[in-house]
Structure 1
């Protein structure tokens, strides 16, 4: 059977030659210049099967998979059902180690630090609930972290008596020192952990994880990083963030099958984390102790490989520059429309894909409904803590014509005042 990393992978059959040819045409250009090459990105768009009946600008929630990933999952699912116990355990299960190696290559780390699971929530719960913390130990997070992860810390506070402290920010903030100082000022002699979100899901603010990690380590603390909205979008290697634990959902910007995720644990930290699901060697140093899930969706797991092939063919930096270009393309056109407010920095250091927009006098819920009912533009309304906006998130398959329609819609809604 041909797997995702064989010479006859589905990606090689469907896309490799076309994308390689396109890459050769733009190989002399910088990633920022390729970001504006509509011929190149129209080819990428054709690899997706997105509905022509709506404009999907909620890729921050979950991204569609390109056709090659969908076909891989379907192929592996059909194979599985020809003889489940044989094809799952004897065939597909053997593909986990090659997949682990490719995820490690994409993340710039050792394969012995990579856990393959279902999403960032599962990954972060593994760390949060697996750390040895006792009553009185303090954890510093943010009120704009992802709710599932905040709830995990709150459960530890209820169960174990830890102290969970949350910072508040009025994003956008275009000052790394201000953000780092806020975390540092909250540290006491009882602080053990800093939980930091790489990209805030509500408004797309990028936090200076490396600077926070360096500061935390100077104080003898560990850093847990939520990278659900940064991995396979921003061009970085996980170890360069300086954190101790990193989690992501692969069904966001990697466009892997829905229900796929990854956890990275620095190798010297593996033994100290208890597995979320019991393992025969819970204090062992083998990263695979975190994968004792039992029967799982092998087709979804193996479909990740084709998403990696697709990602690597484009290139991390080209992807980052293209998606940031798309975000700025629409945001810069609406920022001066009366009553319209952009709730996200447009500077490259502080945002990439996600951008919040609001219109004075119109609630996020009403704006989201107007965009969909009148223009068939799918976004998501955000009313949480001190954030009130509609979140707009394009992806590599988003066209400029679709964003032009978004700009027109925002202008018309703001002018009509309803």
Structure 2
């Protein structure tokens, strides 16, 4: 298959005319142009962009850059020639991926399991921990709903007690974030569930200080790092957590339905797999969490292309850009009389949430989409009400000006 045929096929899959992605045939030369905005223009050229919609809701799931789409299509095409042979015998090569992902998150390869998303990773731990009636779990009202639902199921079925904390959001005061967790700890506390980068507002919680205190008390720490990985620097060993879950289809821009589970080596035997592992799989082997039945190996293997793209840009440069984009639009938005921020300045990265007086979150999100073709996320959870703005690496400053103009014109 030549390149044009490939692009026409991808265009069909995306529901776009060939002309919309024809520029992929001649991408601008990457590495590191002299002018910073020239570099980000090259990054932008690698993404399939909607012809009219301004996508500022990249927090839920990120689009794939061209190298990932090409790898995914190529792997799918090859696998379908003889799936039982090509997919299972040739393509199913997890160990190189395991090593590369471990290097990106400060872990040992033997502590990384390939799963489908952070929900699967975190619920593997939530349901795999040996807990008894009366054991206490400390968690925040601002944690992700799927995780809250999982813990509530354990509470309903087994009598595990949940102790809730309300964080003083937003804040750049680390002590103020630590205090509610520390005050909730008792001799019966067995687990602290932490969200490192809170999806509702972008607030970053200093998990290292909490895990240090937890380890002194023999408390298991589980970190939701769904929005952290490839967004800000992540080092699980430095964080000191016992377990963490990641969605690779967010800021790494890997294929939809890819994630990883991190478990500190000495904790692996303590956790039961969500899906029973083969009898010959040792309880100390991280691979016991990968027995999921038939799964898309092409989807999994295309993660490597996402890692390549990520490394070509560099984590430090990505994080700096995310900070720049957030501060660019948010500081200007806060000069408007009805706008207030639900996101701190220092303890945050690329995503932010604002509230606008006189507008409910859903009404404002609908207005921006219908009147200005700007896609944002409506946030209404645990007392947090606003719209979440999540630009990505491909977002231009001029597009954020478009958002600002729309906010200025609000009736």
Q: TM-score over 0.5 for the alignment?
A: yes
Cα distance between partner residues in 2 of 1:98 and 1:14: 29
Cα separation, 2, equivalents of 1:322 and 1:14:
26
Q: Which residue of 2 aligns with 1:410?
A: 407
Residues 79-228 of structure 1 aligned to structure 2 (within 5 Å): 79-93=78-92, 95-228=93-226
Seen in structure 2, the aligned counterparts of structure 1 residues 166 and 283 have a Cα distance that, compared at 3 Å, is farther
1:17–1:402 distance in 2 versus 1, CA, 3 Å: closer
Alignment partner of 1:315 is 2:314: yes
Residue 54 of structure 1 corresponds to 53
What displacement does 1:16 show? Answer: 11
**Residue 293 (structure 1) aligned with residue 305 (structure 2):** no
Unpaired segments of 5 or more residues in structure 1? 1-12, 27-36
2:12 aligns with none
Secondary structure at the counterpart of residue 146 of structure 2: helix
Distance 2:53 2:59 in 1: 16
Give the TM-score of the pair, scaled to structure 1. 0.90
Q: If the length of structure 2 is used for normalisation, what is the TM-score?
A: 0.91
Which stretch of the first structure deviates more once superposed, 391-400 or 161-170? 161-170
The aligned counterpart of 1:370 is 367
Q: Which runs of 5+ in 2 are unaligned?
A: 1-23
Aligned to 1:327: 326
Which residue does 1:20 correspond to in 2? 31
Q: Is the 8 A contact 2:27 2:45 kept in 1?
A: no
Deviation at 1:53, TM superposition (A): 1.2
The count of residues paired between Structure 1 and Structure 2 equals 387
Q: Alpha carbon RMSD of aligned pairs, Å?
A: 1.6
After superposition, where does 1:268-283 map in structure 2 within 5 Å?
268-281=266-279
Cα 1:41–1:271 change in 2 (3 A) is same
Residues 227 and 248, structure 1, Cα contact 8 Å, conserved in 2: yes
Deviation at 1:39, TM superposition (A): 1.1
In 1, are the aligned partners of 2:104 and 2:234 still within 8 Å (CA)? Answer: no
Tell me the residue number matched to 1:7: none
Matches of 1:17 and 1:50, distance apart in 2: 16
Q: Which residue of 1 aligns with 2:398?
A: 401
Cα gap change, 1:16 to 1:162, in 2 (>3 Å): farther
Contact 1:235 1:317 in 2 (8 A): yes
Q: Measure, in 2, the Cα distance between the counterparts of 1:16 and 1:189.
A: 59
Deviation at 1:50, TM superposition (A): 1.7
Matches of 1:197 and 1:212, distance apart in 2? 11
Residues of 2 paired with 1:408 and 1:232: CA distance? 30
* Corresponding position of 2:283: 284
CA contact (8 A) 1:273 1:283 kept: no
**Mapped partners of 1:284, 1:15: distance in 2:** 50
Which digits, 9 at most, give the CA deviation of each residue in 1:71-108, with x for residues without a partner? 11111111111001001111111x21111111111112
Contact 2:32 2:39 in 1 (8 A): no
Residue equivalent to 2:11: none
After TM superposition, give the deviation of residue 217 of structure 1 in Å: 1.3
Secondary structure, in 3 states, of the residue corresponding to 2:31?
helix
The answer to whether the Cα contact below 8 Å between 2:137 and 2:163 also exists between their aligned partners in 1 is yes
